[in-house]
Structure 1
Amino acid sequence: MTLLTHVDQADYFSIAIDESTNIMDVAQLAVFVRFFDGEEMKELLTLVGLEGEATGQATHDALIKEIYNMKIPLHKCISVTTDGAPAMVGRDQGVIARLKKDMPSMLAFHCIIHSTVLCEKLNDHFQQLTCKAMKMINFLRNQSVLRHRNLRKFLKKKRATCEDLLTYNNIRWLSKGNALSML
């Protein structure tokens, strides 16, 4: 059974969207659809090219078109998570405002990864905690192949929700968010 079939059969699902630009300066919308298939949480991802400016209207239209093309039942969407950018959360013209016109009961969330990064910038205490967590992750993952292998065995034995820890580097802030979301 394909992931799209599972989405169709799910009672409800949530989406997370984030607009970014690739190395060719082409705007893209990353769309994650998360749902429970009766046994485990599943996630489906697609990248949608955005033409012209990434306004709330353009982003909304591209999102709706992609969801329609994938035959995802939008009426089952109970929440959407974004990065908090004006094009996403603008009161009248943002993607969420436009989605809520059709689905007023839909919940909107600010991405916890983005929130964590913002908190770290605002508070020295959070920055210190994040730094310690990153040091632990990098110690477990990067200092020894044997230690990393043993960590993966331990996580598998304990039936952890994740099979590994993601590494963090200062080049891309998203790697920090990925690593923190695993903790």
Structure 2
Amino acid sequence: MNRDIASCAVLGFVRYVHQDKIKEKFLLCEDLLTTTKGEDVFNIINSFFTKNGLDWNSVQQVSVDGTPSMMGSHRGLQGFIQAVNPEIYVDHCIIHRYSLGSKSLPGNLTLVFEDVLKIVNFVKFRDVNSRIFKELCKEMGEQYQVLLYHTDVSWLSRGKVVRRVIELRKTTQEFLKQKGSFATKCTDRE
């Protein structure tokens, strides 16, 4: 189970054996309407299970993206899953584990990308900043209202993150000017 790049949805895939063949299917994609806590993610998955007649006792393993909201043994998704079935093995997805740091950018692009990540993280780290940024995007007539988080798992992710920051650069610059942080990064031609 994972959250999408904008942390707006729970994505689920399933691998199972059917007629002696391993099958992989897309299981669910459900919107996260409020927060992205482990309990929120669990409630979405559990509701999907209930609605579709699926049994937690038939689940053997769940792989998650490794964030505290997923891996936490008490308040994370892992804790909630193991509360309904302690036999389920929850691990950090191998794709996420081995992809970290596997791609490097040439020269000054690394510095630019690090600045972009700092800006995105500043805007998205606090819910209040995200909400203010969203409203500012609406006021300024932007096509999008959110910046995207970066993940090393998807090689397209860096380009998508940078493209979104560029598309929202006027709003981002205005937001950062209001907050008094990183504003000069948006005007720096280098």
Q: Please give the TM-score of this superposition, normalised by the length of structure 1.
A: 0.54
1:48-67 equivalent positions in 2, closer than 5 A: 48-67=30-49
- Give the match for residue 97 of structure 2: 115
Q: Shift of residue 175 of structure 1?
A: 3.9
Structure 1: 5+ residue stretches without partners: 1-16, 129-170, 178-183
State the one-letter code of the partner of 1:43.
E
Q: Secondary structure at the match of 2:12?
A: strand
Q: Please give the alpha-carbon distance, in whole angstroms, between the structure 2 residues aligned to 1:94 and 1:172.
A: 20
Q: Shift of residue 73 of structure 1?
A: 2.2
Structure 2: 5+ residue stretches without partners: 105-149, 157-190
Q: Deviation string for 1:121-174 (max 9, x for gaps)?
A: 2xxxx669xxxxxxxxxxxxxxxxxxxxxxxxxxxxxxxxxxxxxxxxxx9743
Q: Please give the alpha-carbon distance, in whole angstroms, between the structure 1 residues aligned to 2:151 and 2:82.
A: 32
- Give the match for residue 20 of structure 2: 39
Q: Please give the alpha-carbon distance, in whole angstroms, between the structure 2 residues aligned to 1:42 and 1:73.
A: 18
Percent identity of the aligned residues? 20
2:4 to 17, 20, 40: 20
Q: Please give the alpha-carbon distance, in whole angstroms, between the structure 2 residues aligned to 1:70 and 1:174.
A: 30
State the one-letter code of the partner of 1:19.
R
Q: Secondary structure at the match of 1:42?
A: strand
Q: Please give the alpha-carbon distance, in whole angstroms, between the structure 2 residues aligned to 1:173 and 1:21.
A: 11
Q: Please give the alpha-carbon distance, in whole angstroms, between the structure 2 residues aligned to 1:21 and 1:176.
A: 12
Does 1:72 find its partner at 2:54?
A: yes
Cα pair 2:56 2:85 within 8 Å, conserved: no
Q: Deviation string for 1:97-125 (max 9, x for gaps)?
A: 1110111111111111111123xx2xxxx
Call closer, same or farther: CA 1:57–1:104 in 2, change over 3 Å.
Answer: same
Q: Secondary structure at the match of 1:174?
A: coil
Q: Please give the alpha-carbon distance, in whole angstroms, between the structure 2 residues aligned to 1:27 and 1:172.
A: 14
Q: Please give the alpha-carbon distance, in whole angstroms, between the structure 2 residues aligned to 1:85 and 1:55.
A: 10
Q: Shift of residue 72 of structure 1?
A: 1.9
Q: Please give the alpha-carbon distance, in whole angstroms, between the structure 2 residues aligned to 1:116 and 1:175.
A: 12
1:167-178 equivalent positions in 2, closer than 5 A: 173-176=152-155
Q: Please give the alpha-carbon distance, in whole angstroms, between the structure 1 residues aligned to 2:74 and 2:151.
A: 31
- Give the match for residue 66 of structure 2: 84
Call closer, same or farther: CA 1:100–1:172 in 2, change over 3 Å.
Answer: closer
Q: Please give the alpha-carbon distance, in whole angstroms, between the structure 1 residues aligned to 2:67 and 2:90.
A: 13
Q: What is the count of residue pairs matched by the alignment?
A: 110
- Give the match for residue 114 of structure 2: none
Q: Please give the alpha-carbon distance, in whole angstroms, between the structure 1 residues aligned to 2:154 and 2:44.
A: 26
Q: Secondary structure at the match of 1:104?
A: coil
Call closer, same or farther: CA 1:52–1:127 in 2, change over 3 Å.
Answer: closer
Structure having the higher strand fraction is 1
Q: Please give the alpha-carbon distance, in whole angstroms, between the structure 2 residues aligned to 1:86 and 1:172.
A: 15
State the one-letter code of the partner of 1:18.
N
